[in-house]
Amino acid sequence: MAGQPGPASGPLHIVGGPNTGGCIAGAISLPPEGPGFQTIHLDRSAFWGAPSTIAHLEQFGTEAAAAGMPTLLVEDISRARGGPLPGGHVSHQIGLDADVGLDMRPRPPLSDSARETIELHSMVRPDGRGVDPSVWSPREIALLRMAAALPEVDRILVNPAIKQQLCGEVTGDRSWLHLIRPWYGHAAHMHIRFRCPAGQADCVQAAPPPTGDGCDATLQWWFDQLDAPAKPSAPYKAPPAPAACRAILSER
């Protein structure tokens, strides 16, 4: 994003967690492109993260390319110092979250102008009750499985319809389904969250996902909501940044 301050200097220091907001010092930027990946929406997205996050994403691109997948499209990671992203999401604030497009239909790498204008294609039917069979294929399963095998993955958020499809379709080793969790939206991209890097005492690590493959009543809950939507909640209000972030966010 233009006009944003650069990273806060010093060694890596991550403050906060996925549900509290936070900040990061010592972030590095994912290059705009590399083997197997491109960033998109460069005008409005942010591509800074912990060095481990950036390394894992580069590994993801390399592995996807080796598997013959189209170029991965990386959307938001974090701002150079973390903190809230436009859109008000509470995660993506500490350099440990990344959004990667799901659509694996064969296509060439995007041109510079297409990288700005592309809207990632939803893999889910408009009614939210299943994947769109005109775009869904085993390639997306392979991609999610590859993502779940990256180092230090805490969890991967996808639309409940995608999780449901995996529950019904994945055979053989299903242990990785444990890391694939249903969440609102996420029909066009997966949200990869990495664990707090070792030694980051101020990084709040969320509890691990419940044991099991998650193909149970907790998944059905999401579809029950479609029948009886919960009352609209109060508008989202970002929590204040942890006090330890003041110095990181204001360093000049």
Interface positions with Zn ion (CB under 5 A): 99, 191
In whole angstroms, the minimum distance from the beta carbon of 186 to Zn ion comes to 7
Q: Which residue, 63 or 99, has its beta carbon nearer to Zn ion?
A: 99
In whole angstroms, the minimum distance from the beta carbon of 140 to Zn ion comes to 17
Q: Which residue, 44 or 251, has its beta carbon nearer to Zn ion?
A: 44
Q: Which residues of 142-157 are buried (b: 16+ CB within 10 A; e: fewer)?
A: ebbbbbbebebbbbbb
End-to-end CA distance of the chain: 18
Q: Which residues of 182-195 are buried (b: 16+ CB within 10 A; e: fewer)?
A: beeebbbbbbbbbb
Q: Which residue, 212 or 239, has its beta carbon nearer to Zn ion?
A: 239
In whole angstroms, the minimum distance from the beta carbon of 190 to Zn ion comes to 8
Residue 130: what are its φ and ψ, rounded to 5°?
A: -175, 170
Q: Which residue, 103 or 246, has its beta carbon nearer to Zn ion?
A: 103
Distance CA 126, CA 144 (A): 21
Q: Which residue, 168 or 185, has its beta carbon nearer to Zn ion?
A: 185
> Which residue type is seen at 2?
A
In whole angstroms, the minimum distance from the beta carbon of 143 to Zn ion comes to 16
Name the residue whose CB lies closest to Zn ion.
Answer: 191
In whole angstroms, the minimum distance from the beta carbon of 41 to Zn ion comes to 13
Give the count of beta carbons closer than 10 Å to the beta carbon of residue 25: 22
